[in-house]
Amino acid sequence: MPALSKILATLCLVVPGMANAEPRPEHMVYLRTIAPSIEQDIRYATAHNFTGHPLDGYEAPECLLSVDAAKALARVQTALHSQGYGLKVFDCYRPARAVADMGNFAKVVGDPTKAEFYPRVDKQDFWHLGYVARVSNHSKGSTVDLTLTGPTALPAATWTPSARQVDCTAPYDQRFADGALDMGTGFDCFDEPAHTDSTAINATAKANRQRLTSALEKEGFVGYSKEWWHFTYTGNPALKQVMDFPITPLALSTSNQLIIVTTKNWTDIQGSAQRYERHGPTFEKYGEPFAVVVGKSGLAWGKGLTVVDQREGPVKREGDGKAPAGIFKLGTAFGYGNSADTKLPYLALTSTEECVDDSQSKRYNQLVDGSTVSKDWNSSEQMRRDDDMYQNGIFIEHNTPAAAGAGSCIFFHIWRGPTSPTLGCTAMDPANIAKLFSWLDPRQEPLLVQLPESEYAQLRESWDLPER
């Protein structure tokens, strides 16, 4: 779990733009590209960690490691799978600016998550107790925080900021359920039971720790005495350089089709869309730009492929009349016809097709056939309308999987007109949505990037987006 030097901390605070300029080195890879079966719950890209906020530099919840460490971890996963177990990672490469962010947390007033992560420790003591370091091996690309999954693990709970905090040393069935086996404590637990040689844990947790440690040691990983989840790969000792490139979405590296929508500002209801296709390492414009309208209240940061909690600007909520800003995958195409000229999966809408916008429903933010599904919602949108707005549409994967109240039922669809905003979707002329239908190809991993112009200009370099 380690943090950084005062000089680097000051540098990151004073000139964050300089940090953004550092590119991802070639030897650093996304773990998903090497070992896609390893589960990921990247805590520092969320507020569910000991600081209570997403750390600086985590712009996407992705695990990156040196290629040798990633391949070694893949071998561990293969060995564990043969025994009925698996891995889940909580943190991997950590930008130096995130380490500095940890250090800054100890200097500010407030302990928003103390009750869960360090109920018996003063945060000023993190360093001398060994829970946080001035320079972290995580920033060198060789260290990973992880746990063990298996058939007897409790299902993973969905964390929300309003969730009741439970002591990380509480019994397995009482503390936060992270989807892993009982390891004696939760992740990021700053307490003696988290030490690898602790006698304060039960026999089951000891056996699970031993299974995890043994599997990792066979592939060159060594543990850390204060944290049962912390392991460093020793197979490439030449990796000593501290890195500070931001963690950005893998999807942008693998996508070959982009739809980029920009508006003048957060509250503007009109925008411009442009299609792009990848040619080698760069994106080039495809076709002409076209007009769109967005939510009646403009844009707000949505729940997509990036982490935006720490950014300035509004955050999307259910019923706010705002279209989501960020990077989003595209899902099912739908329409009134029995079939459509599209490579996307297509849903022919019936009179019973609904999109559930009741955040208390298990079907929240899903397209369902109300005649075949047991109804547990009080609010939904009928998809087969009396007008032509949904004659052709595409589901935008915002808030997927769904977090209650974060916004639902976001589509590309046909507009009422070039000055008529939506309730939160992005709408356009029928001819232009027809072009999207025929152009989009799920094999090309298409994405929607939707931002106000000022945010696009600020993020273009770090997200490796094309010029507008």
CATH code: domain of residue 81: 3.30.1380.10
* 354 has catalytic annotation: no
In-domain check, residue 384: yes
Quote the tokens at residue 118: 């360090």
Domain of residue 161: give its range: 6-233
In-domain check, residue 243: no
Quote the tokens at residue 459: 């993020």
The answer to whether residues 451 and 331 belong to one domain is yes
The answer to whether residues 260 and 186 belong to one domain is no
In-domain check, residue 21: yes
In-domain check, residue 192: yes
- Per-residue pLDDT in tens (0 to 9) along the chain, 468 residues: 444 333 333 333 333 333 345 788 989 999 999 999 999 999 999 999 999 999 999 989 999 999 999 999 999 999 999 999 999 999 999 999 999 999 899 889 999 999 999 999 998 888 778 777 778 999 999 999 999 999 999 999 988 888 899 999 999 999 999 999 999 999 999 999 999 999 999 999 999 999 999 999 999 999 999 999 999 999 987 778 999 999 988 888 889 999 999 999 999 999 999 999 999 889 999 999 999 999 999 999 999 998 766 578 999 999 999 999 999 999 999 999 999 999 999 999 999 999 999 999 999 999 999 999 999 999 999 999 989 999 999 999 999 989 899 999 999 999 999 999 999 999 999 999 999 999 999 999 999 999 999 999 988 987 889 998
- Split into its structural domains, the chain has a count of 2
Residue with tokens 């019923």: 319
Name the active-site residue from 59, 227, 353, 354.
227
H/E segment holding residue 432: helix 430-439
Furthest CA-CA distance within the chain: 68
Quick count: other Cβ atoms within 10 Å of Cβ 312? 9
**pLDDT tens digits, 271-304:** 999 999 999 889 999 999 999 999 999 999 999 9
The answer to whether residues 320 and 377 belong to one domain is yes
Strand partners, 299: 323
Strand partners, 91: 145
**pLDDT tens digits, 173-222:** 999 999 999 999 999 999 999 999 999 999 999 999 999 999 999 999 99
CA 332 – CA 344 distance, rounded (Å): 6
pTM of the model: 0.75
In 254-345, the DSSP E strands lie at: 257-263, 270-279, 282-293, 299-301, 323-335
